[in-house]
Structure 1
Amino acid sequence: MKFRRNFSIVAHIDHGKSTLADRLIVAADLVSERNFRDQILDNLDIERERGITIKSQTVSLPYRAKDGQEYLLNLIDTPGHVDFTYEVSRALASCEGVLLLVDATQGVQAQTVANLYLAMEYNLEVIPVINKIDLPSADIDAARSQIDKELGLDGSSAVLVSAKTGQGLDELREAIVARIPPPKPPEDDRLRAVIFDASYDPFRGSVIACRVFSGSVKQGDTLLLMSNGLTRRVEEVGEFRLVRVPTKTLPAGAVGYVIAGIKTIADTRVGDTITLADAPVDHAMPGFREPKPVVFSSIYPVASDDYPSLVDALQKYTLNDASLVYTKDSSAALGQGFRAGFLGLLHLEIAQERLEREFNQSLILTAPSVEYHFHLQDGSMVSVDNPTYYPDPIVIVRSEEPYIRASILAPDHYMGSIMKLCIERRGVNSEMRYPGPGRVEMLFDMPLAEVLF
């Protein structure tokens, strides 16, 4: 266990997470130059086209350190967009440390701060890394001072790298080995593992990606999924090395995959605890929360005959995207469909595009809306996310709508324009801070509906 390091890379959008992951994979000789491609961990077409990461991916990197020991670095690559914070939280709960990437040309950004708070929530060791130092516009001293002042971390201990050229990569790997702690020794030998991702293989069923916290799992064991009481026999366990590599067992502290012939998609719940059926643990692992949808839209097939295939497509899609929730819905004009909840507008767009591409669906999506609460005269409260179900205005005593607290980091000369835009959208400026010279952080409380439309 002491030669394993489980870590994740977190950063603002476009600060170079996937490029750094590429560089680490090439340095570990997991892929030949001939088979290498940019964003090698991003295996969805839509991720490669947009240059973004949507799903967390895992890879185990062997590394011989300067002390002569062979270490296994388990990297979990995470998305950067705010819509996918849930994916990031699942990945972080499986790690002991994070690399917090800061772009040397842009400095600390809003999502950098949000990801730092997430990492601190899980008590992880944070290594600040300044990326893109090869660019002519890189300002390393400014990035160091922002790490000091805005993040409260030691800017002088930040590791300087260029993910594009590979400069500083050896120093980074040594820092991972030296500064990220090994997995904690387990309290007992009973199996505790947490599912942080799952994918669907048409031949093998659900492929569960999990982190083993105590005990071990091997082929032939009978697993118990704690959230639904399902028991299954393990067919194969192994590690992710770009492709699935079977091993004899997954010991405590390991990150790997388990195939247990789970055929029904809904049974694999991300965040669930796995234990052995003959020696179960007393309670599930903490730290996971249900994804909370904020944007709602109805999905209908263009031809009403396609409804059964849309049901099938949504079931398969939700295995890979645990944060999409949906219920049956119907419309006089559009027929049978679903009312779906999404984490944000980007999530909605990606779900639509993946359903159309990967499952050959022709879809009609209604305009996105948010959830309103109406308190009625009889003392009851109804939640409405669809204008069709709006209650009679005569019986409404008061209504509530979701608000967000927007933290906007910007150069101070844009302050007037940003304030004007937010106030036009019913925003209330609750606080203003100057984290560094020439930069302003504004906090606005504003209705979520105004942000969407």
Structure 2
Amino acid sequence: MKLNKKNIRNFSIIAHIDHGKSTLSDRLIQLSGIISERDMKEQILDSMDIERERGITIKSQTVSLPYTAQDGKTYLLNLIDTPGHVDFSYEVSRALASCEGALILVDASQGVEAQTLANLYLAMEHDLAIIPVINKIDLPSAEIEWAKEQIEEDLGLDSDDAILVSAKTGIGVDKIFEIIVKKIPPPVSGDAGFFKALVFDSHYDAFRGTIVHFRIFEGSIKKGEKIQFMSNNAQYKVEEVGLFQIVRQPQDELIAGQVGYFIAGIKNISDVKIGDTVTMADKRCDKAMAGFREPTPVVFSSMYPVASDDYEELTEALEKLKLNDASLIYEKDSSVALGFGYRCGFLGLLHLEVVQERLEREYNVSLILTSPSVMYEITYTDGTIKIIDNPVQYPDPAEISRVREPFIKASIIVPDKYMGNVMQVCHEFRGVSKNYQYLTSNRMEMKFELPLAEVVYEFYDRLKSVTQGYGSFDYEIAGYQETDLVKLDFIINGERVDALSQLIHRDKAEARARTACKKLREEIPRQQFKIPIQGAIGGKIISRETISAFRKDVTAKCYGGDISRKRKLLEKQKKGKKRMKMVGSVEIPQSAFLSVLKTD
């Protein structure tokens, strides 16, 4: 049966983190019957182990659901599942570019939160049809009327349209399909005679090469046709086209409006760029589509393989990961202590952890990471301006006339009883309160300007704990402001370890140096000689810990008698230790590098 494009609907589910997107996707997949009850499992679209363990979605996944409506017609509903965490909002914007509508999910007990608003604005930018859904109505703490009020006041949507569901128990989920068919428009495309499609994701398969996920805007595509990428004019012959229905389902043809994949034996990973336009050599479209906003990395860290001969493997792993995660950027880097590696840019600290875990699990590369830092703008005394993100590039303080660091505009939504706690935490992190407003009688939105370097560390965890999990946080970059920056070095056994260096605000340097020295003392194994660990700014030592040496009791055989005999033996031992220290080098384990990054 040939599908009519009027019977296609493309939609995604957007919400704040933990409001139940993945569970709702599970129920929709179950109802559509594309997978047997025996094969069904929780979080079925979260294919990576790390997503299932942490209970978060990192990659948007696509699935095509067949549905027979009340009017007897068969529809194909393409669901693009999206992440909710602020670090992955880039994934959300890519998913929305392929849709005509979105379900915006609101937790009946938590209400509208910061990320709900941010995602709503993203959906509005793409002119999508928006359907509000109130989830978790089965919870004892669910306040449905209150959630409806918030949908009216905060989101400006009609709460009478809101569908009440419980994704966990399945109540009300069956109504969603009917409403999608009625409210979300079918894809618009003219019969222009050319082929045009947008690449919104891709992944690498060891047997088939690169598998490209795309949305067709004009024309149709079949096996055997010749496609061409607009960005680099690379041409390939299509070996297979199909839909995602948990597993890949090959199809004879895909038409305008459909979301699916194609395989064309693409061995050269760098040919596929996310956001690129695909056309055909003989049915070429005149200009490329707008693609996506380039994500701007905010956190930088260097990655080195633990064994230096794994450098090639790390290079290959990063290339394959980049295919699946377009927001990762990296360039070559080297360090005196750790050899060759890569300097990588990330969208946030969670993104950094996820990339590290994926490299270690999926590609078996053991890594050492340096302390995360942000971009600083340095004005030299001769007037030149340079942007640096690596402590190694920090110049001599005598050459600097001023340093500016990036600030963010943070929007924090909390119940008003936590206002004092939030103020305190933001001031601790050098934040400045800008304004606040009440959204409802007891929930408020607080706006702060905060230095990005502080937020990179443990701001989000602290905010969650002082608001007992009710605080939600969203931010955007707000430009640079002047700061008092110092470079904190760590000297282990008289040698500076460049991979541990950090750029930090002067007021925080001493506290950070002390904690880091303590942690290094716990992690570095004891030797036959004393190891001093020092934190220093320039030539000034600001903290110190010492790892005591293993000692043999050389005076055991002297009992009674003259003390000078014992002293002589101890002096002899001391000389031996001193000589050992001169030739001995200290091995720093990987856990020591990581312990400096982790806060208490």
Q: Give the TM-score range, shorter chain.
A: over 0.9
2:193–2:283 CA contact under 8 A, matched in 1: no
Pick from 164, 167, 170: which aligns with 2:174?
170
Specify the alignment match of 2:74 in structure 1: 70
Counterpart mapping for 1:250-269 below 5 A? 250-269=254-273
Aligned match of 2:164: 160
Q: CA, structure 1 residues 409+187, in 2 after alignment: closer, same or farther (shift >3 Å)?
A: farther
Deviation at 1:287, TM superposition (A): 4.5
Match of 1:288 among 278, 289, 292: 292
Rounded Cα–Cα distance in structure 2 between residues aligned with 1:96 and 1:375: 47
- 2:54 aligned with 1:50: yes
* Correspondence 1:117 to 2:121: yes
- Where do residues 253-402 of structure 1 align in structure 2 (5 Å cutoff)? 253-402=257-406
Secondary structure of the 1:401 match is strand
1:133-282 equivalences under 5 Å are 133-186=137-190, 188-282=192-286
Q: State the AA in 2 paired with 1:424.
A: E
1:39-89 per-residue CA deviation (whole Å, 9 max, x = no partner) reads 011111111111111111000000011111111100000111111111111
Query: Which amino acid is 1:402 matched to?
Result: P
Q: 2:16 aligned with 1:12, yes or no?
A: yes
1:162-181 deviation per Cα after TM superposition (whole angstroms, max 9, x unaligned): 11111112211111000011
Q: Does 1:412 align with 2:416?
A: yes
Report what 2:432 is aligned to.
428
Please say which of residues 433-442 and 273-282 is displaced more in the overlay. 273-282
Q: Is the 8 A contact 2:211 2:262 kept in 1?
A: yes
Tell me the TM-score normalized by structure 1: 0.98
State the identity as a percent.
Answer: 62
Say if 2:191 and 2:219, in contact at 8 Å, map to a contact too.
no
Structure 1 partner of 2:112: 108
- Corresponding letter in the other structure for 2:414: A
2-side partners of 1:380 and 1:92: how far apart?
41
**How far apart, in 2, do the equivalents of 1:217 and 1:404 lie?**
45
- Mapped to 1, the partners of 2:380 and 2:101 lie a distance apart of 49
Residue of structure 2 equivalent to 1:445: 449
Tell me the amino acid that sits aligned with residue 367 of structure 1: S
Distance in 1 between the 2:196 and 2:404 partners?
42
Q: Report the 3-state secondary structure (helix = DSSP H, G, I; strand = E; otherwise coil) of the residue aligned with 2:84.
A: coil
Name stretches of at least 5 consecutive residues in structure 1 with no aligned partner.
none
Matched positions, count? 453
Amino acid paired to 1:52: I
**SS of residue matched to 2:216:** strand
**TM-score, structure 2 as length reference:** 0.74
AA partner of residue 435 (structure 1): L
Matched residue type, 1:349: E
Structure 1 residues 355-394: Cα deviation after superposition (integer angstroms, max 9, x where no partner): 1111111110011000111123444321100011012333
- Change in 2 beyond 3 A, CA 1:346/1:378: same
Q: 2: distance between equivalents of 1:378 and 1:192?
A: 51
Whether contact under 8 Å (2:63, 2:80) holds in the other structure is yes
Q: 1: distance between equivalents of 2:218 and 2:245?
A: 22
Residues 124-145 of structure 1: per-residue CA shift (max 9 Å, x gap): 0110000011111111000000
Q: Does 1:25 align with 2:23?
A: no
Q: Structure 1, residues 9-54: CA drift from partner, whole Å, max 9, x if none?
A: 0101111101000000010111111111000111111111111111
Moved more, 220-229 or 361-370: 220-229
1:151 alignment partner, SS class: coil
Shift of 1:214: 0.7
The one-character-per-residue Cα deviations of 1:71-111 (angstroms, maximum 9, x if unpaired) are 11000001111111111111000000000000111110111
1:122 partner amino acid: H
What is the SS of the residue equivalent to 2:288? coil
Moved over 3 A (4+): none
Report deviation, 1:286: 1.2
Moved more, 26-35 or 392-401: 392-401
Change over 3 Å in CA distance of 1:378–1:232 after alignment to 2 = farther
Q: CA deviation at 1:278?
A: 2.0
Matched, 1:403 2:390: no
User: What do the CA deviations read for 1:203-225 (whole angstroms, capped 9, x no partner)?
Assistant: 11111110001111111111111
Residue type of the alignment partner of 1:177:
V
Q: d(CA) in 2 for partners of 1:260 and 1:437?
A: 57
Task: Give, in whole Å, the separation in 2 of the partners of 1:317 and 1:42.
Answer: 17
What is residue 86 of structure 1 aligned with on the other side? 90
Displacement, 1:157? 1.0
AA at the equivalent of 1:353: E
